[in-house]
């Protein structure tokens, strides 16, 4: 979930760090996610009760959460974070709402920012911090072509994305064809 743009000899990579906090068993807890981390669903941070499907499982005893309840993702078109309710596709009697900054969300997605609150069942997550940093990476040395790697969807990225996820489509980049970076 990083955004890559190129300008001549330099590629700008937007990296992020997202910190969530919540109360659990009377104690304040927090967890930070970064664009360099692998998540259970590439390009998203999933929250719920299922350790197999979620990156954040607030409490093993919290039955008011669905196994797969909420997804936070970076919209690379706007470079903003958004949240969606993952129970939206269930029959209406089995859907669990989320409340984002006082607004009930059953369908659709809503933009979040530092200070936003996401209530799921009895758990309220607060977005403590969103940090974004543009990192310049020089891509050419003495006029010679520089090579990159092609993700499974065809996006061309610098080699330092090998082993990470494509910031455009979220697919894992374990290997791929070499391409000349323009």
| Residue range 112-128, pLDDT digits in tens | 999 999 999 889 999 99
Beta strands 3-7; 10-24: pairing state = antiparallel
Residues 99, 155: one domain? no
The residue range of the domain holding 144 is: 140-180
CB contact set of 47 (below 8 Å; sequence gap of 6+): 54, 55, 56, 57, 58, 65, 69, 70, 71, 72, 120, 125
Both tokens of 182, joined, read 């323009």
Both tokens of 141, joined, read 């040395």
* Residue percentage of the chain with pLDDT more than 90: 35
More reliable by pLDDT, 159 or 9: 159
Residues 60, 150: one domain? no
| pTM, full prediction | 0.68
| Residues 45-90: tens digit of each pLDDT | 999 999 999 999 987 656 788 889 999 998 877 888 999 999 887 7
Residues 43, 129: one domain? yes
Residues 128, 151: one domain? no
Residues 123, 163: one domain? no
Q: How many domains does the chain have?
A: 2
At residue 47, the pLDDT reads 94
**Boundary residue ending a domain (97, 116, 133):** 133
d(CA 79, CA 86): 21
């Amino acid at each position: 979930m990083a955004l890559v743009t190129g300008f001549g000899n330099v590629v700008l990579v937007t990296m992020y760090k997202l910190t969530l906090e919540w109360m659990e068993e009377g104690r304040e807890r927090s967890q930070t996610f970064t664009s360099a981390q692998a998540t259970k669903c590439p390009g998203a941070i999933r929250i719920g009760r299922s350790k197999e499907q979620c990156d954040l499982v607030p409490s093993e005893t919290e039955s008011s959460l669905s196994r797969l309840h909420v997804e936070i993702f970076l919209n690379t078109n706007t470079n903003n974070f958004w949240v969606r309710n993952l129970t939206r596709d269930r029959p209406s009697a089995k859907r669990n709402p989320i409340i984002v900054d006082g607004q009930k969300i059953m369908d659709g997605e809503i933009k979040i920012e530092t200070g936003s609150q996401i209530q799921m069942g009895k758990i309220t997550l607060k977005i403590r911090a969103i940090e974004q940093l543009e990192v310049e990476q020089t891509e050419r040395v003495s006029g010679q072509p520089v090579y990159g790697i092609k993700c499974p969807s065809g996006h061309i990225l610098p080699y330092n994305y090998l082993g990470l996820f494509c910031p455009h489509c979220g697919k894992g980049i374990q290997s791929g064809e070499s391409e000349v970076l323009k």
